[in-house]
Amino acid sequence: MEILGGPLFAVAGAGESHGPGVTTIVFGCPPGLRVARADVQRY
């Protein structure tokens, strides 16, 4: 797992390198922040 940090959030990605399973963890989100799939899908 690699953690990438930016000015607002840090992101960690993990999963299968050659398979369909991927997990993303976003650190630093304020409570109640709503994130839609479309917000992150383009990345």
Q: Do 24 and 13 touch, CB atoms closer than 8 A?
A: yes
pLDDT number for residue 2: 61
Q: Count the Cβ atoms, other than its own, within 10 Å of residue 16.
A: 9
Note the pLDDT of residue 3. 67
Contact at 8 Å (CB) between 25 and 11? yes
The answer to whether 8 and 28 are in contact (CB under 8 A) is yes
CB atoms < 10 A from the CB of 2, how many? 7
**pLDDT tens digit at each of 43 positions of the chain:** 566 677 888 888 888 777 777 788 888 888 898 888 888 776 6
Sign for the pseudo-dihedral over CA of 29, 21, 38, 43 = positive
